[in-house]
Structure 1
Amino acid sequence: MVESGKGSGNDDVKAGGIGRAAGGASVTAPGATGTRVHDHNGGAEASNTSADDLLAAMGYKAELVRTRSTWHVAFMSFVLASIPYGLATTLYYPLQGGGPVVVIWGWLMVSLIILCVAASLGEITSVYPTAGGVYYQTFMLAPASWRRVAAYVCGWAFVVGNITITLAVQFGTTLFFVACVNVFESEPGVGVWQAETYQVFLTFLAITLFSNAVSAYGNRVLHHLDTFAVVWTFAGLIAIMVTILALAKGGRRSAGYVFGHFEPTSGWPAGWSFCVGLLHAAYATSSTGMIVSMCEEVESPATQVPRAMVITVITNTIGGLLFLVPLMFVLPDLAELVALPSGQPVPTIIKSAVGSSGATIALLLPLMVLAILCGIACTTAASRCTWAFARDGAIPGSRYWKRVDPARDVPVNAMMLSLAVQIVLGAIYFGSSTAFNAFSGVGVITLTLSYAAPIAVSMLEGRTQVKEGKFYLGNSLGWFCNIVAVGWSLLAVPLFCMPSYIPVTVTTVNYAPVVFVAFIAISSAWYYAWGRKNYRGPPTEQFVAGHAIGVSHTSTDSDRVE
């Protein structure tokens, strides 16, 4: 018989001779005699076996193969954000929101905020390193009286965020590719490919299918692609930076212009226009917590994933500045860029600086390759979080979506569900030329909310449980980072539901609130139809090798597992 208290994961649980204290304490599990995961004062790295034992102690059977090291995780996290590609596809928004000031200072400001988010999530992930990520963490941290609802809402936000941000990446890649092709002109000002709506959609479909195929069939070599992407990215950044600053055929702006010029053209009041322009930086950094879904494919997730998140944010901040500052120095007329039908100013900026279509496409090639790699990484992360949520029965048809293909070590069914949702939502483009704004907006909103959920719950509980982790920030710094992270989420929801400019028409309206509300309606309907009676959150008891491992997580604080 196993006594369970609140089910927070901090209590030592003894079941079948197995002891566990969440994240920070030693674990000895069946079949792993003498193999231990030491606490944060011990300093020893967990072996693959120990990581699987800890996963079992949290109630799950290891179904995915652990092949990624700290740097593999950091590289994948870097590719999920894909600086500078992520900044290139959304540069239109800060240019319209106010120009160079929003581009440079908006990026720096949001990056510092996201560093607080990454550190806050890292603390919690070091205690609860599972593919369920923020969903599982919210359940474990919340009081028993409302943990099911809190975890359910957070889980849906996380899944929706992963899927829609992946959709935004694939659609952004499509629009970016069209703009890149059109650096070649049939006559001055007229690109060679005036893509029809159906052509844009078919290109998006091809890119999305390709990303899913690579993710499904090439899982065991994806970490090599991520490593290649990092080298490729910085080589491309150096080439772009040196070339456009050296040639600058359209002239060079002054430092005062680059770091101080503010010219809002969105129609919003100046202050709000600056804020709306932050979608650029928020979109590029929104993938920060997606890497948590890879915890069950990492050798020592309690230490490697938190470190990777923080390292990636710092690296991305530097890489973003290396990309954005040179572009602002060679920026053409701002009104001309904002008026571009493609909504993709980067190809035009680079072409004005180098003066040649051939040279332009050569400099854009690193971004185009990185765009594909980013789509593959996002597809992989989205499939893992969908699978993890389905594993606990929280998605309609969970029995099907939670299956893992044993030949590929990939949750293919969950990946196909994510793919189907992306294709359906991609059809919005037939009705609105600003569909990309909706996809990126929903992705940023839902991911930001999902990241804030476990952080907010941890704060309400006095941050007591994160002290057990291997990535503890300390009291003062921890509270500071938590407050900044939650405050950012409160701003992001209304901010990214706004249209990027006014006045608004039927074709330029921001559909992010519509898609967001639709997902809320679907998840709420499923909860009331099925979840209230059947959904119990993460497993209350798991049997591994004939031993019962786990903590009872039910609606009271004094339950027992017999």
Structure 2
Amino acid sequence: MKEAKEAKVDRSEQRLRELGYKQELKRELTSFTNFSVSFSVVSILTGLTSLYGTALNSGGPAVIIWGWVFVSAMSMCVAAAMAEICSSYPTSGGLYYWSSKLAGRHGPFYAWVTGWWNLLGQFGCTAGIDFGLAILLCSVISLANGWVYERWHVVLIYFLILIIHGLINTFLVRLIAIMNTISVWVHIGGVVIILVTLLVKAEHKASASFVFTSFVNNTGWSSSVYVVLLGLLQSQFTMTGYDASAHMTEETKNADVAGPVGILMAVGVSFVAGLGYLLALTFGIQNLDEVLGTTTGSPIAQIFLDAVGETGALLLLAILLIAQFFCGNASVTANSRMIYAFSRDGAMPGSKYLHRIHPTLKSPIWGIWLSCFVSALLGLLYLINVVAFSAITSIATIGLYISYGLPTFCRLVYARDSFEPGPISLGRFSNPIGIIACVWIVIITVLFVLPPASPVTPLSMNYTVVIVAASAFYIFGNWYFNARHWFKGPVSNIDLEDNEHDFVAGSLSNKETTMVEGGKTEYEVAEKEEI
């Protein structure tokens, strides 16, 4: 009986048990479907579309094209450093689990900080994706029938999109893998269709010198270098979310290989497809002034309209809408898995509920709807300020990349000689690539809280700095005054018999306690007891 039981445990599940967790989620994703989740969240047809107009004003075609090449190279360094660690620790906790294991005695602190920045970034990512979809949908409706929409219309549509994505992730979890696979082909096929259509049907095409060397500065800033750096936001926001492959490893077969490969492929394939998309759009510009001053609400819609007419534009925009819908759904999936894993270790208010998997639906329902709710709150910023969308995208970029960099930093500083790589290893390139990744993350963290336009007014201010500062105050303040007394990092949730593999297990009790005087612990994680 014992041998039969062990035979049912595949390599990925066995590794998960070694890391201290029992198998609760269904492990049915293949290497391709794991990659498809990250590729869908990166979604070049979402990020590059949403901020194309911003980049046109902050650097123009030259920054759009060459910025994409440069940012993709830097992102590949970050992704490679992450992939190596993911191969060693394939768990849904992903980044915060890695930080905990790599930072030694400082593990709880780094796990706490990494997990919360990753959550902030994922909330911002989901909000940015679905909000971009809402704006584009309003633009398409406006183009089709002349509807004049207002900001509150955009917000209502945004809420509806979040609800739909929440329902899909709750009740149609079996279809998510299929949807992500379809999403890959929608993105790749969509890029090919748009590229061919614009290059063949457009009456006039922009010159190569315009596409590769033209510089535009409508920001009000006099420094060209500063404007170029601002223009990188489009590319860097797009090239985020590939950590989704790590968060899906507990649902993936052969996870210690499929997870890291999914991370690397998401960045590599996105670079190639994204370059083709940007070239198609930029060569397809008929009149730059009309695109920048468009009344359609979307520079992309104006490019399509000028190049192929109203009917053709609506068909091409439909491809973008479908791609963005799949992207938003994948983002909610990845976000909910992070909430599930983080709360499993008692790190979030309401952890008692958030880490539960529905016994029938096999889905972390509480995590799904928390993701949608927080993203909805971020969308309300648009009612206050029209530049809020840029702030949301900056929050996503900063939060995610800080969480991407911390595990790599811990490996370089605390586990330089003790880290044991998995099947995917960078070998002697590990440290140089890790250093490049960390330096780049510091640069973009500073860059994306700077004001995008001059003069700086209440309408043009970058409110990212306010949200990031408030988040930092909560993360570090809560750690110092509260969490450091009880949060011990990832804790085992399995209770196994000793077997020939010498599994050492522990019993876990995440006890919710009443807040007592002096602001003491809200949650108390019991120590791991060896049996």
TM-score by length of 1: 0.86
**Whole-angstrom distance in 1 between the partners of 2:492 and 2:360:** 29
**Whole-angstrom distance in 2 between the partners of 1:178 and 1:488:** 36
The equivalent of 1:3 in structure 2 is none
The equivalent of 2:130 in structure 1 is 170
Which blocks of at least 5 consecutive residues in structure 1 are unaligned? 1-29, 36-46, 186-191, 553-558
The equivalent of 1:94 in structure 2 is 55
Quick one: which of 347, 353, 362 aligns to 2:315? 362
User: What is the Cα deviation at residue 334 of structure 1?
Assistant: 3.2
Change (3 A) 1:332 1:504: farther
Give % identity: 29
The one-character-per-residue Cα deviations of 1:467-493 (angstroms, maximum 9, x if unpaired) are 431101111x22232122111110111
The equivalent of 1:386 in structure 2 is 339
**Whole-angstrom distance in 2 between the partners of 1:32 and 1:509:** 63
User: What is the Cα deviation at residue 72 of structure 1?
Assistant: 0.7
The equivalent of 2:194 in structure 1 is 240
The equivalent of 1:215 in structure 2 is 169
The one-character-per-residue Cα deviations of 1:528-554 (angstroms, maximum 9, x if unpaired) are 4531221111116742257862599xx
User: What is the Cα deviation at residue 405 of structure 1?
Assistant: 0.9
The equivalent of 1:319 in structure 2 is 273
Quick one: which of 232, 236, 261 aligns to 1:278? 232
Quick one: which of 132, 136, 140 aligns to 1:180? 140
Change (3 A) 1:389 1:454: same
1:123 and 2:76 are equivalent in the alignment: no
The equivalent of 1:328 in structure 2 is 282
1:76 and 2:37 are equivalent in the alignment: yes
Change (3 A) 1:500 1:290: farther
Change (3 A) 1:465 1:181: farther
Three-state SS of the structure 1 residue aligned to 2:449 is coil
**Whole-angstrom distance in 1 between the partners of 2:244 and 2:493:** 27
Which blocks of at least 5 consecutive residues in structure 2 are unaligned? 508-527
Change (3 A) 1:106 1:337: same
1:400 and 2:360 are equivalent in the alignment: no
Quick one: which of 85, 89, 108 aligns to 1:148? 108
Amino acid at match of 1:300: N
Three-state SS of the structure 1 residue aligned to 2:248 is helix
The one-character-per-residue Cα deviations of 1:230-279 (angstroms, maximum 9, x if unpaired) are 22222222221111111223x21111111111122212211111111111
How many residues align structurally?
Answer: 508
The equivalent of 1:111 in structure 2 is 72
Provide the aligned C-alpha RMSD in A.
2.3
Change (3 A) 1:32 1:512: farther
**Whole-angstrom distance in 2 between the partners of 1:292 and 1:236:** 26
The one-character-per-residue Cα deviations of 1:516-538 (angstroms, maximum 9, x if unpaired) are 22222333443345312211111
The equivalent of 2:516 in structure 1 is none
Three-state SS of the structure 2 residue aligned to 1:87 is helix
User: What is the Cα deviation at residue 33 of structure 1?
Assistant: 6.6
* Further displaced range: 65-74 or 525-534: 525-534
Change (3 A) 1:341 1:394: farther
**Whole-angstrom distance in 2 between the partners of 1:219 and 1:34:** 28
TM-score by length of 2: 0.91
**Residues 46, 323 of structure 2: 8 Å contact kept:** yes
1:429 and 2:389 are equivalent in the alignment: no
Three-state SS of the structure 2 residue aligned to 1:468 is coil
**Residue pairs, 1:163-562, within 5 angstroms:** 163-184=123-144, 192-249=146-203, 251-268=204-221, 269-340=223-294, 344-354=298-308, 356-461=309-414, 463-475=416-428, 477-539=429-491, 542-545=494-497, 549=504
**Residues 102, 419 of structure 2: 8 Å contact kept:** no
Amino acid at match of 1:183: L
* Further displaced range: 393-402 or 532-541: 532-541
**Whole-angstrom distance in 1 between the partners of 2:336 and 2:244:** 11
**Whole-angstrom distance in 2 between the partners of 1:59 and 1:462:** 20
**Whole-angstrom distance in 2 between the partners of 1:510 and 1:340:** 23
